Amino acid sequence: MTECTRCGGKPFYTRRYSGETLCASCFKDSITDKARRTVSKYQMIGTGEKVAVAVSGGKDSLSLLRVISDVYGPRQNSIVAISIDEGVAGYRDEALDHARSLSKELGLEHIVLSYKELFGFTLDEALDWQDERDISSCSFCGVFRRRAIDEAAVRAKATVVATAHNLDDYVQTFLMNLMHGDVARLAWLDPSYSDDTFPVRRVKPFMEIYEEEVALFAYQSGLPFQSVNCPYMHEGLRSEVRDYLNTMEANHPGIKNVLLSSSLDVISHYARTSDKKSVPCSSCGKPSSNGLCNVCRMKATIEEHVKYGP
Ligand SMILES: [Zn+2]
Ligand SMILES: [Zn+2]
């Protein structure tokens, strides 16, 4: 193996799509630099803004918290970590501990908001009627988590909320939206997406970084890996899309990068021309496409079925 392209040091990782070989330290710097470039390219974080970082406690979000804290805090921006407790017994506790201890180590405020507190039920309670449900637990949980992150960011008085979606997540979601016929949701993937009715911008500083590289960064930074998977994880189509993209990337290094830039072209065109008109939800006042938002619609379904715990 050749030496580090940047400093001549001991090789650690070769980027097949660029041919660059890096030592461990240059690799870590390259991830931080990439995230910084993405943030500046899409004007994700303004000087002096309060940034909320959504931290699930998995390796991606812990890495994001570390990078955002190293690059933007504390002199330039004030940073707060936010976590959502879905209420899944035996699963979320470990991740929340990781989020809590990293926030503490970095000297950051850490806000935890639970489904129970916000919606009146835990995910365990909501999914208790599994036999009858016609939506997958992940899309179900995703709708609530998105609302909960928004709410936590508002409570934290942040003006921007950063999530740890990486390049793989991004292109998988793009393809899945196409496969579900869910073209309207493409607007959510716009890197500078803003919604007139919602005061907090959502940004993805890792959206140009491969999942594999984020995992290596986490490992190199000594960040903990969560040992328990969500018991409701039911990825279906997503894992097929992930496998397909990984095979394509192995055969054609760099193809994920190309797919990202094609996706961004399509999305920016779509975002410019689409009619983003939304109407306030009749129940909660948040934006919706047809008068009742997804959260309230799903909440109503759950309330019909849920058997509340003690
Ligand atoms: Zn080096
Ligand atoms: Zn609503």
Place of tokens 């007139």: 196
Identify the weakest region by mean pLDDT among 21-30, 82-91, 103-112, 230-239.
230-239
Q: How confident is the model at residue 130 (pLDDT cuts 50, 70, 90)?
A: low
State in Å: Cα 142 to ligand 2 middle.
15
d(CA 288, CA 196): 12
State in Å: Cα 291 to ligand 2 middle.
8
State in Å: Cα 209 to ligand 1 middle.
19
Task: Give the tens place of pLDDT for each residue, 285-309.
Answer: 887 878 898 889 888 877 777 655 5
CATH code of the domain containing 111: 3.40.50.620
Residue 289 lies in a domain: no
Place of tokens 């910084």: 36
User: Does the pLDDT value for residue 28 go beyond 80?
Assistant: yes
Number of domains within the chain: 1
Range of the domain at 121: 43-276
State in Å: Cα 183 to ligand 2 middle.
21
Residue 288 lies in a domain: no
Residue 80 lies in a domain: yes
- The average pLDDT across 205-216 equals 97
Residue 5 lies in a domain: no
State in Å: Cα 10 to ligand 1 middle.
7
Q: Which ligand is nearest to the CA of 291?
A: 2
Q: Which ligand is nearest to the CA of 283?
A: 2
User: Does the pLDDT value for residue 3 go beyond 80?
Assistant: yes
Task: Give the tens place of pLDDT for each residue, 33-86.
Answer: 999 999 999 999 999 999 999 999 999 999 999 999 999 987 889 999 999 999
User: Does the pLDDT value for residue 131 go beyond 60?
Assistant: no
Residue 31 lies in a domain: no
State in Å: Cα 294 to ligand 2 middle.
7
Per-residue pLDDT, 236:
74
Residue 13 lies in a domain: no
**Percent with pLDDT over 70 in the chain:** 91
Residue 290 lies in a domain: no
Residue 198 lies in a domain: yes
Per-residue pLDDT, 304:
79
